[in-house]
């Protein structure tokens, strides 16, 4: 039996007991009551309706009516007296039924009010939780916006009024953007955009304006920016529209980085690499760089093909090609000297190589280790010099001196 059924039976039991008690007490007090008073039966119905609701109240009314009719009306001596007692009984039935109904409605209203109150409390608790979560998310968003390296701006459609920006915007622009940014008069501000060829952007060509007006998505567009301090900087800008569920443009967001220093560093690096290649490709000696960790040649100058007679491409593929070209009589000595001398900080050795055409050349090679912060050798750079002609000249000079 379920808990609800057990509770309902208890309510019916209260109705029965209250009527029985009202009957007994009325019978005991009937000699003092003239005429018979029905107040105790009203109380029985009230108690039943109070605890059980409409159904127990109706049960109490029916039982009370039967009890009054049997114990009090049938016991009267005269018919006229009995008939006179029926009117109060009818009124009793109507009043108790009305009371039970009203009590039931009141109880339903109370329960509904309790449910509404609980629902309101739950809604308030949920609202409080959502507000706290919203505040937490807002603080997180503000922290991200302040910590991110890029400048960020969000503008509403269609005119481009700024609704959100982070401090990096002012740091890069060197001027504070007007929150009432307008696409039509953007060139009136203290900063201006230029293309790589120097042409000034029109207001509608700015990445943010293009996303607002046409929905274009811009990724990594390089722009020259005349900042508020009068200095031209290079920025890398991106922009994208924000649409609603119907596809209409509500706003646009743009981010941009100041890549001026990085661009200058890249230009300096390209200049340095160009100078290095000019030097390495101009000298007649072989300049090479070897990676100890990767066990491969990182760079070898074109002079290698002229002296060794092998292609640089083959050497990149197989670094052992270098050692395999050494004369068999010198190879073991070169390997031993190379590794022994490298531990002392440098290598300076001479050996012979056999070229693909069978000719023999004499090489002087110097190598130097490059160590990392942990003291480990991670690269080796070297210079190989062709000494063949010089040694032949020296030998010829010595022979001529002996003849004299």
Q: Kindly report, residue by residue over 243-296, the tens digit of the pLDDT.
A: 999 999 999 999 998 988 888 888 888 888 888 777 777 778 998 888 888 888
Q: What is the pLDDT of residue 360?
A: 92
Q: Residue 83's domain spans which residues?
A: 3-119
* Region at 13 (left for phi over 0; alpha for psi -120 to 50; beta for the rest): alpha
In this structure, are residues 341 and 347 in contact, taking their beta carbons and an 8 Å threshold?
A: yes
Residue 27 pLDDT > 60, yes or no? yes
Domain termination residue (choose one: 225, 260, 295): 260
Q: How many domains does the chain have?
A: 3
Instruction: From 165, 154, 173, 263, select the one nearest 225 (Cα to Cα).
Output: 173
In this structure, are residues 350 and 362 in contact, taking their beta carbons and an 8 Å threshold?
A: yes
Query: Can you give the CATH number for the domain in which 197 is found?
Result: 3.30.450.20
Tell me if residue 388 falls in helix, strand or coil. Answer: helix
In this structure, are residues 387 and 368 in contact, taking their beta carbons and an 8 Å threshold?
A: no
**Per-residue pLDDT tens for 118-154?**
888 898 899 989 889 888 888 888 888 888 888 999 9
129 part of a folded domain: no
Do 399 and 287 share a structural domain? yes
Give me the percent of the chain exceeding a pLDDT of 70: 83
321 part of a folded domain: yes
Among 92-96, 153-157, 231-235, 390-394, which stretch is predicted with the lowest mean pLDDT? 390-394
Residue 369 pLDDT > 70, yes or no? yes
In this structure, are residues 172 and 235 in contact, taking their beta carbons and an 8 Å threshold?
A: yes
Do 293 and 390 share a structural domain? yes
d(CA 363, CA 360): 10
Do 254 and 171 share a structural domain? yes
Tell me if residue 392 falls in helix, strand or coil. Answer: helix
Residue 329 pLDDT > 60, yes or no? yes
Do 391 and 289 share a structural domain? yes
388 part of a folded domain: yes
Residue 219 pLDDT > 90, yes or no? yes
354 part of a folded domain: yes
145 part of a folded domain: no
Q: Which residue has the higher pLDDT, 81 or 362?
A: 362
Q: What is the pLDDT of residue 396?
A: 45
Tell me if residue 139 falls in helix, strand or coil. Answer: helix
Do 107 and 168 share a structural domain? no
**pLDDT grade, residue 57 (50/70/90)?**
confident
242 part of a folded domain: yes
Q: Which residue has the higher pLDDT, 289 or 32?
A: 289
Do 113 and 14 share a structural domain? yes
Q: What is the pLDDT of residue 399?
A: 45
Instruction: From 339, 336, 331, select the one nearest 380 (Cα to Cα).
Output: 339
Q: What is the pLDDT of residue 37?
A: 67
Residue 223 pLDDT > 60, yes or no? yes
Residue the block writes with tokens 């990182």: 298
Q: Which residue has the higher pLDDT, 392 or 58?
A: 58
Residue 192 pLDDT > 80, yes or no? yes
DSSP calls for 205-268: GSHHHHHHHH---EEEEEEEEE-TTS-EEEEEEEEEEEE-TTS-EEEEEEEEEE-HHHHHHHHH
Among 1-5, 297-301, 392-396, which stretch is predicted with the lowest mean pLDDT? 392-396
pTM for this prediction: 0.49
Residue 5 pLDDT > 80, yes or no? no
Q: What is the pLDDT of residue 401?
A: 40
| pLDDT (average), residues 300-310 | 90
Instruction: From 249, 220, 230, 121, select the one nearest 175 (Cα to Cα).
Output: 230
Q: Which residue has the higher pLDDT, 7 or 287?
A: 287
| pLDDT (average), residues 223-248 | 90
Instruction: Sheet containing 192-194: give its strands across.
Output: 161-165, 151-156, 249-258, 232-243, 218-226, 192-194
Do 221 and 168 share a structural domain? yes
Neighbours of 378 (CB within 10 A): 13
Q: Which residue has the higher pLDDT, 382 or 293?
A: 382
Do 171 and 243 share a structural domain? yes
Do 158 and 229 share a structural domain? yes
Q: What is the pLDDT of residue 76?
A: 58
Among 54-58, 152-156, 221-225, 315-319, which stretch is predicted with the lowest mean pLDDT? 54-58
Q: What is the pLDDT of residue 253?
A: 93
Instruction: From 179, 150, 154, select the one nearest 164 (Cα to Cα).
Output: 154
**pLDDT grade, residue 84 (50/70/90)?**
low
Q: What is the pLDDT of residue 114?
A: 85
Do 311 and 233 share a structural domain? no
Evaluated on CA atoms 147, 148, 149, 151, the torsion sign reads: negative
169 part of a folded domain: yes
Residue 398 pLDDT > 50, yes or no? no
- Give the chain's mean pLDDT: 81
**pLDDT grade, residue 308 (50/70/90)?**
very high
Q: What is the pLDDT of residue 279?
A: 75
Domain termination residue (choose one: 119, 143, 164): 119
Q: How far does CA 9 lie from the centroid of its chain?
A: 58
Rounded to a whole number of angstroms, the CA Rg of the chain reads 52
Do 309 and 247 share a structural domain? no
Domain termination residue (choose one: 245, 260, 275): 260
Do 108 and 202 share a structural domain? no
277 part of a folded domain: no
């Amino acid at each position: 039996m379920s808990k609800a059924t057990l509770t309902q039976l208890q309510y019916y039991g209260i109705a029965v007991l209250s009527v029985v008690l009202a009957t007994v007490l009325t019978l005991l007090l009937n000699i003092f009551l003239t005429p018979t008073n029905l107040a105790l039966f009203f109380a029985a119905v009230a108690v039943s309706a109070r605890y059980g609701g409409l159904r127990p109240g109706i049960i109490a009314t029916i039982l009370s009516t039967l009890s009054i009719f049997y114990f009090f009306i049938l016991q009267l001596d005269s018919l006229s007296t009995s008939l006179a007692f029926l009117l109060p009984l009818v009124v009793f039935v109507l009043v108790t039924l009305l009371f039970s109904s009203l009590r039931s409605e009141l109880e339903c209203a109370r329960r509904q009010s309790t449910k509404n109150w609980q629902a309101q409390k739950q809604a308030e608790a949920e609202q409080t939780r959502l507000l706290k979560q919203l505040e937490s998310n807002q603080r997180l968003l503000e922290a991200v916006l302040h910590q991110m390296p890029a400048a960020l701006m969000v503008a509403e459609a269609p005119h481009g009024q700024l609704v959100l920006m982070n401090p990096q915007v002012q740091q890069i622009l060197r001027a504070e953007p007007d929150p009432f940014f307008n696409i039509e008069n953007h060139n009136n501000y203290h900063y201006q955009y230029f293309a790589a060829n120097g042409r000034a952007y029109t207001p509608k060509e700015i990445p943010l304006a293009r996303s607002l007006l046409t929905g274009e998505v811009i990724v990594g567009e390089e722009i020259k920016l005349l900042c508020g301090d009068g200095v031209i900087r290079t920025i890398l800008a991106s922009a994208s529209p924000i649409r609603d569920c119907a596809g209409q443009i509500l706003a646009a967001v743009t981010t941009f980085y100041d890549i001026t220093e990085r661009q200058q560093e890249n230009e300096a690096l390209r200049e340095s690499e160009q100078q290095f290649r000019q030097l390495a490709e101009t000298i007649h000696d072989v300049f090479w760089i070897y990676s100890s960790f990767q066990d491969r040649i990182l760079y070898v100058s074109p002079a290698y093909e002229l002296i060794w007679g092998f292609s640089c491409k083959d050497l990149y593929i197989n670094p052992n090609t270098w050692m395999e070209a050494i004369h068999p009589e010198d190879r073991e000595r070169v390997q031993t000297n190379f590794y022994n001398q490298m531990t002392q900080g440098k290598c300076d050795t001479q050996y012979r190589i056999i070229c693909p055409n069978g000719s023999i050349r004499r090489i002087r090679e110097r190598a130097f280790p490059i160590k990392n912060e942990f003291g480990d050798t991670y690269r080796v750079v070297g210079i190989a010099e062709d000494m063949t002609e010089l040694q032949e000249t020296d030998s010829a000079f010595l022979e001529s001196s002996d003849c004299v």
